[in-house]
Amino acid sequence: MASGEFELIRHYFCRGPGAFGAALGIGDDCALVEAPSAKQLAVSMDTLVADVHFPKNADPELIGERALRVNLSDLAAMGASPLWFTLGLTIPKAESQWLQGFSTGLFNVAGEYDCALIGGDTTRGPLTISIQVHGAVAVKNALLRSNARVGDIVFVTGELGDGAAAVAIIKQEFEVGKSAFDYFMQRFYRPQPRIREGRLLCGIARAAIDISDGLLADLGHICEASGVGAVVQVEQLPFSEPLEKLVDRQRRLDWALAGGDDYQLCFTVPPAKLNQIETLIDQGKLNASAIGEIVPGSGVRCQHEDQPLAVTRTGYQHFVNGTT
């Protein structure tokens, strides 16, 4: 078993400089990197706390996968390609089996998305994982929350509500068979950062955000940043077959609108570029559904078949909703 911070880092987390532009990775006071030519760096950081963002007793390999995947989702929302990441890891004690599993999960994802670990820190305390991701996007090509305009059509990738269903299953609010259990655990621990989709949307979509706190909350961020409102037609929300089998329509709507943990992209497209989106969908290059429209005003309103629909909960709020 590794003993001491530096030996622990060398044993579990030193994997070489890795990705493009990382001239010097772990092992010195700083990493040395070179930004790609004619690109802007996209940088984001999220912190995951045990029993708030994941169960502390979960498989450490799955914890490692989830931690990096949800951070990479922020790069996807900007249309950026991953380059590097740094890791701040706080652990109660250095357990070799836990560290081996966690680092395995972490580097599985890093390899999948060609994203190198170039530095970080370890310390002792309650289990907490902070990851800062770095990516690159062409100058003036980033998808911004502030670019939505009245008349844009609102889209989402994939299906909604699966993440919240997974949390309910983890909390043992539902009993499900093995097939459904495996599906929802995959959705929770191995969400797919929509990196490829984000890159496809650059130059087509106006604004984008990843859905981490729930559709209403995250679309609301676009509306606030852009000075607009939005109308969501709830009958157009996409659901997976396992979710449709699990709960009734009302619970599906609640989870899709306000449950969070889906890590799909919500984006807006000007009418003049709808044909480009439809072509990508028809070619199988983009799995996305039109769910509403950007309108004058502020905030997000819901309708069902053009009739107003009252919504009582708008999204996950950290330190308010309790633990997962």
The mean per-residue pLDDT over the stretch 193-200 comes to 98
Output the pTM of the full model.
0.90
Q: Please tell me the least confidently modeled range out of 33-42, 94-103, 131-140, 180-189.
A: 33-42
pLDDT tens digits for range 218-233: 999 999 999 999 999 9
How many other CB atoms are there within 10 angstroms of residue 1's CB atom?
11
Superfamily for the 145-309 domain? PurM-like C-terminal domain (3.90.650.10)
Spell out the domain ranges in the chain.
5-138, 145-309
Q: Are 277 and 203 in contact (CB under 8 A)?
A: no
Distance CA 209, CA 220 (A): 10
What phi and psi, each to the nearest 5 degrees, are found at residue 7?
A: -65, -40
State yes or no: pLDDT of 27 exceeds 80.
no
Q: Which residues contact 47 (CB under 8 A, 6 or more apart)?
A: 88, 128, 129, 130
DSSP state of 270: -
Give percent above pLDDT 70 in the chain: 87
Average pLDDT over residues 13-31: 61
Mean pLDDT, rounded, for 80-102:
93
pLDDT in tens, 267-320: 999 999 999 999 999 999 999 999 999 999 999 999 998 777 777 666 665 444
Q: Which of 192, 191, 62 is nearest to 129 (CA)?
A: 62
Confidence category of residue 5, pLDDT binned at 50, 70, 90: low
CATH number of 5-138: 3.30.1330.10
The Cα-based distances of 23 to 20, 32, 190 in angstroms read: 8, 5, 30
- One-letter amino acid identity for 229? G
Average pLDDT, the chain: 89
pLDDT-based confidence at residue 8 (cuts at 50, 70, 90): low
Query: Can you give the pLDDT at residue 177?
Result: 93
If we measure between CA atoms, which residue out of 201, 205, 195 comes closest to residue 148? 205
